[in-house]
Structure 1
Amino acid sequence: MDTGLLLQYLVIAAAVLISAWVVANKQFPGGMRKLRIALALRLLREGRAEWLRAIGRRIAPPGRAADAACGGCNNCDPPAAGR
């Protein structure tokens, strides 16, 4: 296999994975949050290499603050910029 062709396949594979991640985040935000938490927990275990733990911290979703007046609707995320 030619090196140029291999590089082309790698770029296309990266673009497809990034596109799938973006679509999944928009269509299934709750499921993607659970997936990100599961991945981050595996990467943040004790004894892991520091670079793996850094990736885990980057993957982990931001925490949700529970308000005392919260009705439990799980809609604590800040509003999106385009809405």
Structure 2
Amino acid sequence: MNTGLLVQYVVIGLVVLASALYAFRKLAPQLTNRWLVSASIHFSQPGHAVWMRSFARRLQPKQATGNCSDGCSTCGACGPKPPAAARGDTVPLEFRPRQR
């Protein structure tokens, strides 16, 4: 196996891994938040190196601020968005019988 082929496999593997993590984060946000919190707690122990503790601070998931403009939708106070037809964005389909 030559070097170019090995580099190609590594790059493809990294792209696939990154896209899988992104999809998993979008599909299971609560589970990934729990994993990030537990990893952050583990790495922020006083016995670890400084770079590990700074990495732990970066791993901590963002918390909801309670502000209605942040779009967190944790309290449900913002309410559901109206359907697209009510906003006037789209026109509903209208079916008509064929003329013969």
SS at 1:58 equivalent: helix
Aligned to 2:35: 35
In the alignment, the residues of structure 1 paired with residue 39 and residue 6 of structure 2 have an alpha-carbon distance, to the nearest angstrom, of 28
Greater relative CO (CA pairs within 8 A, separation 6+): 1
Counterpart amino acid of 2:37?
I
2:59 matches 1:59 = yes
Q: Percent identity?
A: 33
RMSD, matched Cα: 2.5
Kindly state the Cα deviation for residue 39 of structure 1 after the two structures are TM-superposed.
Answer: 1.3
Query: When you count helix as a share of all residues, which structure comes out higher?
Result: 1
Matches within 5 A, 1:2-21: 2-21=2-21
TM-score (norm 2): 0.58
Q: How many residues align?
A: 71
8 Å contact from structure 2 (residues 33, 61) kept in 1? yes
Segments of 5+ residues of structure 2 without an aligned counterpart are 67-72, 79-100
Counterpart amino acid of 2:19?
S
Of structures 1 and 2, the larger Rg is shown by 2
8 Å contact from structure 2 (residues 64, 74) kept in 1? no
SS at 1:62 equivalent: coil
List per-residue Cα deviations over 1:34-71 (Å, max 9, x = no partner): 011111111111121122222211111123457xxxxx
Segments of 5+ residues of structure 1 without an aligned counterpart are 67-73
TM-score (norm 1): 0.68
